[in-house]
């Protein structure tokens, strides 16, 4: 805001409310609400010109999350609407309101959210469906068939009320109805109500009034004002107890033994359960994969802080955003990393909303084996690296995984932890220090000839390749990036210069957007440095993990061959 002071929260009653927005035309409504309150000087009101945004973001006062993404609002309102949590996490007296446009009711994520709300009986959640008949380019599918909207909402377990959306009396009466279930207020409205030549007409979406119509319409609006008395809302009362989510630390060091084997997906579940003992603000969400992601360990130890979201990944991410608002909880979502691609819209909106959520994706790469390509995450690093505010963790053993979970809980923005299915050896001591953006030199000597960078499964393949090459009197330096974003550029450059500028990257991911491209971007323009990139180059198939690593050229033999090729070329 040009003045440096955001507008105040707009409240309607003494009971504390939270606003959620999805309907695309809502920013002007919010602007009118803000204008009803004492505001600083007029420059703050430059809508869509650097001051106020055309579509709202979370930093706009009174909002919980960003608006304008059709289908986004419903799910993101579910987190604070949760009623079945224990007292420490409950929402206390406030109600949650979500404004939905009829056009976005074609979005499947809206109905994911509505199903979830009824399953958990979120009776403090109110959705206002603005049924104005018109979409952006055509009429909405059901137009003004209000009874069908009502039947659909009721079929999803909601108390549904049809009202005249232009009647303040009917709206107030509907808001006052209390049921032991979520409520949908289905408001029949008309775009441009009361404006000659505009009401209920198509082709006005996002268009300003032409000058030759403006004066007449302004006078029509003024003629409808019955009282010039300004009524200011009573400020809400905050009755939720204060909580602290800063500096959440593990209660003890990891307890692994070097050489023992554990899958990082299981280490994630153990670490999250352990962190849950350090703070009752840690919560876990899963999409019916808890026995694969091992979030079931958290559920067993902290059942009242686990939310089963079922196979509805878009909604799960939206719920996590809702849980993270108001800085009252630290949510961790888990599912197969491949399934997060379904929720990319919600993830990017979480970043726009400046949300702090943690996502753990398991079953990455061809190394999952027999389950086949539909379950193999091979695009996830590219996806999460592209998200602003993201931190991308790729731990390679149990110790690193536990540290990644702890760091994610204390890192702002969108944190992604990539975990693997195969069991691999513990390579770090329990007191090893890990930090965001700091890589590890896992293996080195004074006469290393090539730097090899791998993560997860491929880091262990790189160490195996080092053993093969050692028999040929070829030494390599092996780096574990730990975080792919941010990347430890300094250590990579130092290692490359110490190994005659030769780098080999190897990853269980497609070529595009993963470790290889991250490293290449980090060293671009640096003289004398070459990067050889090993990655999955086509859609994979089912098979045993070792067979697939070999088939796609990312196993120890492929790494050793790439190293030999660089040395021979010199």
Identify the active-site residue in 104, 296, 313, 406.
313
Indicate if 467 belongs to the active site: no
- Spatial neighbors of 354 by CB under 8 A, at least 6 apart, are 57, 58, 59, 389, 413
| pLDDT at residue 20, as a whole number | 58
Cα→Cα distances 362→333, 359, 382, 478, Å: 11, 10, 15, 24
Q: Is residue 363 a contact partner of residue 375, using CB atoms and an 8 Å limit?
A: yes
Q: What is the pLDDT of residues 518-542, one digit of tens each?
A: 999 999 999 999 999 999 999 999 9
| pLDDT at residue 93, as a whole number | 74
| pLDDT at residue 57, as a whole number | 58
Dihedral sign computed on CA atoms, order 235, 236, 240, 246: negative
- Angle formed by the axes of helices 313-324 and 108-119, nearest 10°: 70
CA–CA distance, 500 with 563 (Å, rounded to integer): 12
Let me know if domain 261-425 sits in CATH 3.40.50.720.
no
pLDDT < 70 stretches in the chain: 1-92, 178
| pLDDT at residue 140, as a whole number | 94
CA–CA distance, 13 with 95 (Å, rounded to integer): 11
Q: Is residue 508 a contact partner of residue 554, using CB atoms and an 8 Å limit?
A: yes
Fold of 17-223: Rossmann fold (3.40.50)
Among 465, 416, 420, smallest CA distance to 442 is for 465
Give start and end residues of each alpha helix (H) in 104-190.
108-119, 146-155, 168-175
Burial of 231 (0-12, 13-18, 19+ CB in 10 A): exposed
| pLDDT at residue 232, as a whole number | 83
Fold of 440-569: Rossmann fold (3.40.50)
User: Structural domain boundaries of the chain?
Assistant: 17-223, 261-425, 440-569
Q: Do domains 17-223 and 440-569 have the same CATH topology?
A: yes
CA–CA distance, 216 with 10 (Å, rounded to integer): 30
Q: What is the pLDDT of residues 244-281, one digit of tens each?
A: 999 999 999 999 999 999 999 999 999 999 999 999 99
For residue 292 the two structure tokens come to 């694969």
| pLDDT at residue 4, as a whole number | 37
């Amino acid at each position: 805001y040009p003045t440096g002071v955001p507008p105040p929260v707009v409240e309607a009653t003494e009971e504390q409310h939270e606003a959620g927005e999805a309907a695309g035309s809502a920013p002007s409504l919010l602007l009118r609400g803000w204008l009803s309150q004492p505001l600083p000087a007029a420059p703050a009101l430059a809508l869509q010109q650097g001051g106020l945004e055309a579509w709202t973001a979370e930093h706009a006062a009174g909002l919980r999350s960003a608006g304008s993404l059709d289908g986004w609002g419903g799910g993101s309102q579910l987190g604070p609407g949760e009623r079945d949590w224990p007292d420490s996490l409950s929402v206390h007296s406030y109600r949650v309101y979500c404004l939905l446009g009829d056009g976005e009711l074609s979005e499947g994520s809206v109905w994911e959210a509505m199903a979830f709300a009824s399953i958990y009986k979120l009776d403090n959640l109110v959705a206002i469906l603005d049924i104005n008949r018109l979409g952006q380019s055509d009429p909405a599918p059901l137009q003004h068939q209000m009874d069908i909207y009502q039947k659909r909402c009721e079929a999803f377990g909601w108390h549904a009320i049809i009202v005249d959306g232009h009647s303040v009396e009917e709206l107030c009466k509907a808001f006052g109805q209390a049921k032991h279930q979520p409520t949908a207020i289905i408001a029949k409205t008309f775009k441009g109500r009361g404006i000659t030549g505009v009401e209920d007409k198509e082709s006005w979406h996002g268009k300003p009034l032409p000058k030759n119509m403006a004066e007449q319409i302004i006078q029509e609006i003024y003629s409808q004002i019955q009282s010039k008395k300004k009524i200011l809302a009573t400020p809400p009362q905050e009755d939720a107890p204060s909580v602290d989510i800063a500096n959440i630390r593990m209660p003890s060091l990891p307890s692994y033994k070097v050489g023992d084997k554990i899958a990082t997906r299981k280490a994630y579940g153990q670490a999250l359960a352990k962190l849950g003992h350090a703070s009752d603000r840690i919560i876990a969400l899963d999409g019916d994969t808890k026995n694969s992601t091992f979030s079931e360990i958290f559920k067993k130890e902290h059942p009242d802080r686990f939310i089963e979201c079922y196979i509805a990944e878009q909604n799960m991410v939206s719920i996590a955003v809702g849980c993270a608002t108001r800085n009252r909880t630290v949510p961790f979502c888990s599912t197969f990393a491949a399934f997060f691609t379904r929720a990319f819209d919600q993830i990017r909106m979480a970043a726009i909303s400046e949300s702090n959520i943690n996502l753990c994706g398991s079953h990455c790469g061809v190394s999952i084996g027999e389950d086949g390509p539909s379950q193999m995450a091979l695009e996830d690093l590219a996806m999460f690296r592209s998200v602003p505010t993201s931190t991308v963790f790729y731990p390679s053993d149990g110790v690193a995984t536990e540290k990644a979970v702890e760091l994610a809980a204390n890192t702002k923005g969108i944190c992604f932890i990539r975990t693997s299915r195969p069991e691999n050896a513990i390579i770090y001591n329990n007191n090893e220090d890990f930090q965001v953006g700091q890589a590890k030199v896992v293996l080195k000597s004074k006469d290393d000839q090539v730097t090899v960078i791998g993560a997860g499964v491929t880091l262990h393949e790189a160490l195996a390749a080092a053993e093969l090459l050692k028999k040929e009197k070829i030494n390599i330096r092996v780096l574990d990036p730990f975080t792919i974003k941010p990347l430890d550029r300094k250590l990579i450059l130092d290692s490359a210069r110490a190994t005659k500028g030769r780098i080999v990257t190897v990853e269980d991911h497609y070529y595009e957007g993963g470790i290889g491209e991250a490293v290449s971007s980090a060293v671009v323009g640096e003289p004398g440095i070459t990067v050889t990139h090993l990655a999955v180059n086509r859609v994979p198939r089912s098979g045993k993990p070792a067979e697939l690593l070999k088939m796609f050229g990312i196993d120890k033999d492929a790494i050793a061959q790439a190293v030999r090729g660089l040395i021979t070329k010199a």
